[in-house]
Amino acid sequence: MPTNRKNRMSPTFFRLFLLALVLLAASPAAAERPYAENLFQGNFSPQKQSADNASQPLMAPGDRVALRIWGGPSPVDSMLTVGPDGLLDVPGVGSLPVAGMTCDRLTEILRGKMASGGHADVQVHASLPDALPVAVFVTGGAARPGRYAGFPSDPLLSFLDKAGGIDPTRGSYRDIRLMRGGSTVTSLDLYPFARTGELPTVRVQDGDTLVVGPRGPAITATGAVRTAASFEFFKGRATGAALMDLAGPERSASHAVLTGTRKGAPYTTYLPLRELRDLQLEDGDRVQFVADAPGDTMMIEVQGAVRGASRFPVRRGARLADVLHFIAVEPERAQVDALYIKRKSVAARQKKAIADSLRRLEETALTAASASTDEAAIRAREAEMVSKFVERAKAVEPEGVVVLDKDQGKVDLALEDGDIIVIPPKSDVVLVSGEVMTPQAMLWSKKKDAEEYIRGAGGYTNRADRSTVLVLRQNGSVSRDSDDILPGDQIMILPKVESKSMQAVKDISQVIMQVVVSARLLLGLPSL
């Protein structure tokens, strides 16, 4: 059986595992790109100016404009501020759109308006007192940390742009601080700007420092989403709901395949989007959104000594032989030849069989005739104890084990939705349980048989049925061969059933055996 995911897949496997193949394939580079990375393409530097105005800065929202108008009907000598909408309210003139305009151009416009009003001799002078160049340091997780020149009115993005943007391997798009004199002037999160254009209005000063913080937890979204990218989150806020809000799943998306690492081991699960919303994600997780049409796929789970996927979707009609190519086992730990299946449909039939046996047991206990008053009292006590036994037995949940041939390479079993493939870990011990004095695990020895292990566990109890010694194998099977004990086996001693009714003894023994076989559990037995 292959032990990794690099094995060549057959054409049949390819058809059956369409979704799983997408998981294993390397995603396009574009999908790995950090969200908001495309902001930094040289577009935030000041707009290009003509040769005549090359040395003049352009006005922007928040700029202070020193305006003097004399020689006209309404003299002006004021310090005005460009509004957030780019408008400048000039006394006696009104609001003018000045964003992106030089002071010389503003002067020309004002002179023209005065001249059209019959005041051609009016003098106008406009200037930006804060327009002297400044130098800002950009450091931290910037692509090219350094000292960059600009103007106080330049947006913070222009200085980040000059520094090459954010280094995606170490820098944060969400934790950027403008520092002045050792204190934070403002914080910048690029995600609101990328999504809605929200950006703090602040004027830089000479000597300010832009600090790009370290990259936070990143989750990659791919598949049926409007925005496929690697999204950064603040620590502790990486949830499925937050990822869905940023990535925007398509209306057709119904499920998600989550791959990552949990407790140092590879991890994969497949779940509906409603379950993804409440899930806490971790740094490095990848979430593939899929449009899973109802009935086209089924879920398979893997347990035991495996690495990689724990749950994954397969196409209906998949067979075990194909799935085995996909499972990556831990070669040093996996008992591959003991592989078995847990199946819901088998568990349901086992549950029904136990229920039928319990019904017969109850009928026997409740309808048994008594020849005397003393015997009637005994029957009443037995019926009460049987009722307690039945109540416990009804609560048993069978595992639905499907025992397979040791030669797993020839297995061509058709899988069912919800099947659990179990690959037990290798073991060097033998467990002795049930009606022994000291249930315990002992080191396996090739020279020992079941009786020697039982003696090592203190021997039989006085309630033990010495004729019923079962051996539970790692492959899910149950055997009466107590001479051939293998590593990982469980030796189980069943209780002896005593009753005045032979039929009750038979029925109870049958239920106990059914529970052991179906649930690998020894049901507690009251004294009858």
Query: Lowest-confidence range among 41-45, 132-136, 384-388?
Result: 41-45
- Higher pLDDT: 52 or 34? It is 34
Q: Quick: pLDDT tens for 242-281.
A: 999 999 999 989 899 899 988 888 888 888 899 999 999 9
Q: What value does the mean pLDDT take over residues 75-82?
A: 90
Query: What count of other Cβ atoms lies within 10 Å of the Cβ of residue 481?
Result: 12
- Of 17-21, 347-351, 501-505, minimum mean pLDDT range: 17-21
Are 501 and 348 spatial neighbours (Cβ–Cβ below 8 Å)? no
For residue 5, pLDDT beyond 50: no
Q: How far apart are CA 206 and CA 185, in angstroms?
A: 13
pLDDT greater at residue 35 or residue 500: 35
What average pLDDT score do residues 187-198 get? Answer: 91
Alpha helices, H only, 176-239 = 190-196
Relative to beta strand 297-304, strand 420-423 is parallel
Phi, psi of 36 (to 5 degrees): 80, 5
Who's near 196: CB < 8 A, 6+ residues apart? none
Instruction: Dig out the tokens for 508 from the structure.
Output: 């109870």
Mean pLDDT of all residues in the chain? Answer: 83
Q: Tell me the backbone φ, ψ of residue 345, rounded to 5 degrees.
A: -65, -35
Question: Which of 198-217 are b and which e, b meaning 16 or more Cβ less than 10 Å from the residue's Cβ?
Answer: eeeebbbeeebbbbbbebbb
> Which domains are delineated in the chain?
11-34+218-334 (no CATH), 58-127 (3.30.1950.10), 132-214 (3.10.560.10), 346-519 (no CATH)
The two most distant CA atoms of the chain are separated, in Å, by 135
Distance CA 11, CA 21 (A): 12
Above pLDDT 70, what percent of the chain? 85
The DSSP secondary-structure symbol of 295 reads: T
H or E, element range at 472:
strand 464-472
**Stretch (H or E) spanning 105:** helix 103-116
Q: Strand (E) positions, 255-304?
A: 255-262, 265-272, 286-290, 297-304
| Residue labelled with tokens 């009714």 | 501
477: which 2 tokens?
């099977």
Instruction: Determine the pLDDT at residue 161.
Output: 92
The whole-number average pLDDT for the span 283-298 is 82
Determine phi and psi for 53, rounding to 5 degrees.
-115, 20
DSSP H helices in 248-372: 273-276, 320-323, 344-367
Q: What is the pLDDT of residues 204-250, one digit of tens each?
A: 889 999 999 999 999 999 999 999 999 999 998 999 999 999 999 99
Average pLDDT on 404-427 reads 81
Residue 63: predicted pLDDT: 81
pTM flag (> 0.75) = no
Evaluate if residue 369 carries a pLDDT over 90: no
Q: What is the DSSP string of 353-366?
A: HHHHHHHHHHHHHH
